[in-house]
Each structure stands twice: as C-alpha cells, then as structure tokens.
C-alpha cells in the first residue's frame, strides 16, 4: 500500500479560512506534501479566535490535517525569496487570497512561472477574473446567493441559505480535482498551467437540474421548502417525529417516475392502504394538489415513531427516507468511526478530537490521518532541509520577524 497517489508531489499552500484549505487538505489526504505558509506569530486568519487567542480553533483543526506549517512574512524581500525558493521545488501553488493580493505580493502567475515554468498555479476566488464582480470580496453565502442556490432554497416567501459551506468546501474539492487533472496533463504533454475556479461558477454548476423546470415553465423555479423543485409532486416533505426535538424529523420522498412503486409501498408501510383507492392520491401531481391529505397521513404515522424508527420502517419498504442527522448524531455514531468517515486525531492543545475524514473510499489508498500542524512546526524541516538554510540564517530571519 503506497502513501497515496499524490506522494512525491509538493504543494505550496497560500490558503486561509475554508475554501482553499479544503482543497489543499484533500491533496494532503491523497499523499501530497502540503507546505502551508502562515504569518509569523499569528498564523493564517482562521487559526486563532478572539475568544481563545493562541489556541487553534476547531475550524482550523478540521481543515488542515496532514499538512506542514511554516511561518513567513511574504511582504518582506527576504520572505518573498523564501517563498520563491519553496515554489521552485514545488509542483503546485494554491491560493485563495483576496482579489489582487497575489499580484501585490509579487506572486502573480506570470512571476511564479518565471521561477517554475512547470508549476500548476491554482487560484480560488469568489468570482471569476473576467467577471464584472471580480474585485468584490466574497464568502460562502455571497457565492450561494449569486450562483443560483439561494433562489431555489427556502420557503416561498423567504429565501434561506444552506446551513453548510457548500460554496467554500465544494469549490475547494472541485479545485483539487482540477489540480490532479492538470498534473496528469503535465505528465503527458509537458507544460504547467493556471487554474481559476470561482465559487459563484461552482454553485451555478451545482444548480444544473434547475434548468429543467426553468425551461418547462419559462420562469425561474419557485422555492418549495422541503418539496421537490423539479416538479409539483407529493409526498416530498420533512415530517416531525417523537420526541419532537429541534432535529427530530424524517424526510420522505416518492419518485415522480412513471411506474414507481414508492407510493404503494409507503401506503402499506404506514398502514394506510386505503389511500391507494383514493382518486385524490392517484398521481404524484394529484397528491401535490391535495397535499394536506397526503402529508396528514404521513405526519400521523411519523408522530408515533422516532426519526430512526420511521426511517427504518419506510426505507425498509423501499421508499426513499432519511432522518435529519445533526453533528452529534454523526460524530457519535460508532459506524462512522469504524468506516473512517469520522476520524480521531490527537491535538496538542485540544486532546483527542473526532473530525470528518475523506469521504471517497479507494481500494488502493489508506490515509493515515495526522492532526493539523502547530504554527511554524516545520520551519526547520522546510527552510533547513528543503532550502538548505543554516541555523545562523534561520535565527537571523527570526530576529527580523521574517519567519
């Protein structure tokens, strides 16, 4: 078993917060040597919080496993030369800094290509370089609002953003896929390249299915809450279960596909076979028109069961159903720990922490999860080992607060 398919590749990581760090963590999990560059004494912007200064945030832990950390003040001439030294020995540079930041640092694609003509230069921004919004600052909610996601999410009278960072982590993983493709192309055709991925564009790509109802109706798709946005069908809703806590719900959906047995299976599972003879319940659309009757029967059944019981009964009858699982449910499910979706790492400040691992499973890859690095933990290894700086040189750079 190899260390990973990207073993032997080196990545210069100039990322912060979530989007870029999700990309480089994915590359690290796949075996790449990822050297994360942070500000001396303060780290990247997501490492510490005002509430706990000097203690790594859980957000930093979850996004920076299996990386190395060096400190460098890139705004100094000496710091810039250090980064160019690492760049020369790297295969990839990844950045998600604010618009124009890399140019101001002297690390534009053109400058980096002078140092390393074969480099893969990967840039993640809120908006594409040729977008009229290219210079606007952007975080995850801005991208999901402007990419089309929020327009179809929420209640008819109230748009609601997603509760997870779809634009941030999703775009980061898309960028990781593009980097791997670029490395393959470099091996076959012998050139480096620039990659630009915008969060707004990624979200628009995720929204592809919304074009079907758009062209069918000639209008932008409506927000349908927990319903199915592709078509007016039922049942497609989230139903409360006992003991009726904040996340005690199960989602149930019956396919709109012709000939589907979902509705018949559901009626049998909840003990309401009489609904099979009801003309109001004859088709997905008629059930939508009489949604209160349809949902009322399902709601009555779910109210007698926990979300796990309802899911087991209904999904066991070959009907799509899923309980709402919150972070506590997912973290403390021993099955998730056993199968590696939740992993346990030892952090010097936080102790043992359970965190999400790498979702795909590949038969030829086994990931050994390592905790996120301490600030500047790998200065000696990278500056001394990779770049060949002496102890005296490193002490001088520390005194100047370059590293």
Catalytic residues: 168
Helices (H), 128-165: 140-146
| CB burial string 346-383: b at 16+ within 10 A, e below | ebeeeeebebebbeeeeeebebeeebbbebbbbbeebb
> What is residue 86's three-state secondary structure?
helix
Q: How far apart are CA 93 and CA 182, in angstroms?
A: 12
Extended beta strands in 224-350, E state: 236-240, 249-253, 321-323, 342-347
Q: How far apart are CA 381 and CA 67, in angstroms?
A: 13
CA atoms within a 13 Å half-sphere pointing along the CA-CB vector of 296: 7
CA 115 to chain centre: 31
φ, ψ for residue 379 (rounded to 5)?
-55, -50
Burial class of 327 by CB neighbour count within 10 A (0 to 12, 13 to 18, 19+): exposed
Q: For residue 117, what are the CA distances in angstroms to 27, 106, 110, 147, 361?
A: 21, 16, 9, 34, 34
What the block records as the tokens of 362 is 């590949």
Q: For residue 141, what are the CA distances in angstroms to 133, 150, 165, 176, 331?
A: 15, 9, 8, 21, 25
Q: How many helices (H) and strands (E) does the chain have?
A: 17, 13
Q: For residue 170, what are the CA distances in angstroms to 152, 179, 233?
A: 18, 14, 29
CA 247 to chain centre: 22
Q: How far apart are CA 210 and CA 189, in angstroms?
A: 37
């Amino acid at each position: 078993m190899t260390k990973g398919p990207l073993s032997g590749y080196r990545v210069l990581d100039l990322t912060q917060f979530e989007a870029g760090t999700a990309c480089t963590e994915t590359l690290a999990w796949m075996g790449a040597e990822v050297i994360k560059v942070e500000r001396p004494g303060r780290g990247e912007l997501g490492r510490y919080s005002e509430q706990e200064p000097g203690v790594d945030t859980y957000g930093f832990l979850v996004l920076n496993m299996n990386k190395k950390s060096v400190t460098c003040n890139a705004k100094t001439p000496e710091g810039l030369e250090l980064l160019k030294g690492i760049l020369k020995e790297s295969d990839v540079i990844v950045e998600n800094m604010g618009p124009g930041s890399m140019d101001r640092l002297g690390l534009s694609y053109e400058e980096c290509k002078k140092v390393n003509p074969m480099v893969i230069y990967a840039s993640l921004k809120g908006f594409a370089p040729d977008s009229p919004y290219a210079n606007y600052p952007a975080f995850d909610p801005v991208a999901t609002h402007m990419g089309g996601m929020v327009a179809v999410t929420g209640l008819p009278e109230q748009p609601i953003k997603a509760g997870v960072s779809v634009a941030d982590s999703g775009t980061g993983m898309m960028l990781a896929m593009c980097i791997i493709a670029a490395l393959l192309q470099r091996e076959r055709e012998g050139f480096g390249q620039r990659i630009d991925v915008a969060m707004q564009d990624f979200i628009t790509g995720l929204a592809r299915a919304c074009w079907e109802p758009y062209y069918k109706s000639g209008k932008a798709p409506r927000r349908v809450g927990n319903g199915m946005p592709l078509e007016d069908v039922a049942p497609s809703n989230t139903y409360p279960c006992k003991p009726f806590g904040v996340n005690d719900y199960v989602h149930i959906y019956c396919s709109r596909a012709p000939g589907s047995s979902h509705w018949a299976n559901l009626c049998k599972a909840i003990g309401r076979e009489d609904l099979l003879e009801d003309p109001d319940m004859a088709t997905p659309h008629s059930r939508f028109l009489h949604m209160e009757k349809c949902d009322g029967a399902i709601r009555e059944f779910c109210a007698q069961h926990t979300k796990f019981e309802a899911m087991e009964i209904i999904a066991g009858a070959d009907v799509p159903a899923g309980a709402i699982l919150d972070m506590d449910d997912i973290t403390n499910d021993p099955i998730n720990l056993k199968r590696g979706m939740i992993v346990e790492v030892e952090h010097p400040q936080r102790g043992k922490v359970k965190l999400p691992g790498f979702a795909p499973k590949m038969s030829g890859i086994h990931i050994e999860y390592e905790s996120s690095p301490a600030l500047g933990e790998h200065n000696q290894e990278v500056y001394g080992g990779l770049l060949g700086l002496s102890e005296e040189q490193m002490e001088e750079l520390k005194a100047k607060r370059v590293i």
